Every structure is written in structure tokens, then in C-alpha cells.
Amino acid sequence: MKLLRYGSPGQEKPGLLDNDGRIRDLSGVVADIAGAILLPEGLERLKAIDRATLPIVEGNPRLGPCVAGTGKFICIGLNYSDHAAETGATVPPEPIIFMKATSSIVGPNDTIEIPRGSEKTDWEVELGVVIGKKAKYVSEADAMDHIAGYCLINDVSERAFQAERQGQWTKGKSADTFGPIGPWLVTPDEVPDPQKLAMHLDVNGRQFQNGSTATMVYGVRYLVSYLSQFMSLQPGDVISTGTPPGVGLGQTPNIYLKPGDVVTLGIEGLGEQRQNVVQG
């Protein structure tokens, strides 16, 4: 299934994408794509619905973040060996964990706002993992049972705030609009191997990132297990798993986003995003 949320910000309704690419309204079935509906039994309930009986959503409504009620937005740094090399960093012996503020979360095609004082706003196409069942001290063998699905994420980053202003990375990652998520949450039955997904990102039609989740240092199964040793993962929590090479910081000379730019990105099977860049 491809689950989604549509409508104006803060008033999104739940829906799904049918086999013909049409949005079907789920608001008569569930309140939102959140909480218990992300549990295995909740997803099975949705799979059992005859999609032809659901109302078709007409037009082209705004798409919101594909999951609601996210308590934690957890990110993994330097998780692609080729990306670590382009930034001059070494692959860490354990995953680098940092948080993005959940207030950064927006829809997949919403505007990216460059923060005041920013000169180094950058892009990062990433595979997102959405937790469906609480995970606490889970083994790698059981980790995949706790995943509700996968999604596309642009981990927008302000490099000066992140690395030149001291302290943790969080303040360079958490500005409003720095977390486009979606367009949809794709359930695991449609993603047989999350470590074999092509991914790309373009700015103004020029491709900068062209990679694959196959080059992740720490894979999805490992990350879910690893994170669950330090914190419980709850339904709706999102893990952003790192980016392949081609970020603005890795260009010579560096290239960063400016007002008027258009960012487009996608991951195989998970859809695409398109964001206009404006001054915040």
C-alpha cells in the first residue's frame, strides 16, 4: 500500500493511492495515518479494504507529511561511505545519531524556507523508515517486524549552523520546512529489499545526487535494532538513514540553495518530491 495524507497544513485527511494513481479517501475508515493504524494489525485492516469502495479525491490536493504524530525524527549521519569521503570525514565505528525537530516536518512539495542568516542551506535525499510497532531492545533478526513502511525524505541542512556554530548538529537540521516527508508511506510488502533502492536529487534540473541505498554503511535492519538499545521507538517515529554523495557541501566550489531554486528528488518505488526555495 501507499498511504498518504492530503489537505491544507494541520487539516490533512488520510488517504491511499490506488493502482491507477488516484487518491482514495480513508477518512471514513481511520482518523489519520498515525498511532495504532501503523501497527501490523492496523495495516492489515487497511489492506483488507476494497479500494473501489473508497471515495476518489478529485483534483490535485496538497500532500502533507505521509505520517502524523511523529514523536521522534531521528537521523543518521555519514551513513554512506562515498558521502563520508566527499565531506572529508571517516566512516564512524558506530552510527552517528542526531535529531531533527519535529516542527521541521512538512509535506513533500511544500516550500523550503532558507533561515535568516543562512548562507549554506544544503540538500540530502534520504530513505526514511517509519516505525509501526514499539521497538525496545530488539534484535536485528526481529527489527523488520517493527517497521510500518518507508518514505522519501529531504534532510535539508544548514551547514554553517550545523558545523561552524559549535555544539550539536541539531540546530543546523531543524529549521521550519527542513523535513519534507512523503509523498506516501509505502508498506514493506512493496519494498522487498530497502537496501537496493536507487535515489536521486536535482537542483534546477541539474542532477547532483545519483546513488543507491546499497552503499549504506549501516543498513535498515541494523539501525532499528541499534537505536532501540538507546531509546524506545514508537509508532510514527521516523528514522532518516543518511544520504549518498552529491550534496552542495561536497561540490568544488561549494554550491548552496538560494531563493528561486527548485529541488526535485526521488527514491525508487517511494515517489518524488518537488520544492521551491524561498527566503524565510
Question: Region 1-20: what's the mean pLDDT?
Answer: 97
Question: Region 252-258: what's the mean pLDDT?
Answer: 97
Give me the pLDDT at residue 229, please.
98
Verify that 106 and 38 share a domain, yes or no.
no
Backbone φ and ψ for 263, nearest 5 degrees, come out as: -105, 130
Verify that 103 and 139 share a domain, yes or no.
yes
pLDDT digits (tens, 9 = 90+) for 35-83: 999 999 999 999 999 999 999 999 999 999 999 999 999 999 989 877 6
Backbone φ and ψ for 113, nearest 5 degrees, come out as: -105, 125
Verify that 44 and 79 share a domain, yes or no.
no
Question: Does residue 61 lie in a domain region?
Answer: no
Verify that 146 and 8 share a domain, yes or no.
no
* Predicted confidence (pLDDT) at residue 84 exceeds the cutoff of 80: no
Question: Does residue 68 lie in a domain region?
Answer: no
39 vs 44, 116, 140, CA distance in Å?
Answer: 9, 40, 19
CB of 111 within 8 A of CB of 276?
yes
Verify that 35 and 170 share a domain, yes or no.
no
Instruction: Return d(Cα 238, Cα 150) in angstroms, integer.
Output: 9
Instruction: Return d(Cα 210, Cα 244) in angstroms, integer.
Output: 8
Mean pLDDT of the chain: 95
Radius of gyration of the chain, Cα coordinates, nearest whole angstrom: 18
* Predicted confidence (pLDDT) at residue 198 exceeds the cutoff of 70: yes
pLDDT digits (tens, 9 = 90+) for 132-183: 999 999 999 999 999 999 999 999 999 999 878 887 888 999 999 999 999 9
Question: Does residue 106 lie in a domain region?
Answer: yes
Residue 10 CB burial class (10 angstroms; 0-12, 13-18, ≥19): exposed
Question: Does residue 64 lie in a domain region?
Answer: no
Verify that 89 and 34 share a domain, yes or no.
no
Question: Does residue 133 lie in a domain region?
Answer: yes
The domain total for the chain is 2
DSSP string computed for the chain: -EEEEESSTT--EEEEE-TTS-EEE-TTT-S-SSGGGGSHHHHHHHHTS-GGGSPBPPS-PPB--SS-----EEEEES-BHHHHHHTTPPPPSS-EEEE--GGGEE-TTSPEEEPTT-S-EE--EEEEEEE-S-BSS--HHHHGGGEEEEEEEE--EEHIIIIISSS-GGGGT-STT-EEB-S-EEPGGG-S-TTS-EEEEEETTEEEEEEEGGGBSS-HHHHHHHHTTTS-B-TT-EEE----S--GGGSSS-----TT-EEEEEETTTEEEEEEEEE-
Question: Does residue 14 lie in a domain region?
Answer: yes
CB of 6 within 8 A of CB of 22?
no
Q: Give percent above pLDDT 70 in the chain.
A: 99
Verify that 48 and 81 share a domain, yes or no.
no
Verify that 149 and 247 share a domain, yes or no.
yes
Verify that 25 and 136 share a domain, yes or no.
no
Domain that holds residue 174: 73-279
Give me the pLDDT at residue 166, please.
80
> Is the omega angle on the peptide bond into residue 253 within 30 degrees of 0, that is, cis?
yes
Q: What is the CATH number of the domain that holds 195?
A: 3.90.850.10
Verify that 34 and 122 share a domain, yes or no.
no
* Predicted confidence (pLDDT) at residue 258 exceeds the cutoff of 70: yes
Give me the pLDDT at residue 133, please.
97
Instruction: Return d(Cα 15, Cα 93) in angstroms, integer.
Output: 41
Question: Does residue 226 lie in a domain region?
Answer: yes
Verify that 36 and 134 share a domain, yes or no.
no
Question: Does residue 19 lie in a domain region?
Answer: yes
* Predicted confidence (pLDDT) at residue 86 exceeds the cutoff of 90: no
Of the candidates 269, 42, 5, the one whose C-alpha atom is nearest the C-alpha of residue 150 is: 269
Verify that 141 and 222 share a domain, yes or no.
yes
Q: How do 125-131 and 238-240 pair as beta strands?
A: antiparallel
Other residues' Cβ atoms within 10 Å of the Cβ of residue 137: 9
pLDDT digits (tens, 9 = 90+) for 94-141: 999 999 999 999 999 999 999 999 999 999 999 999 999 999 999 999
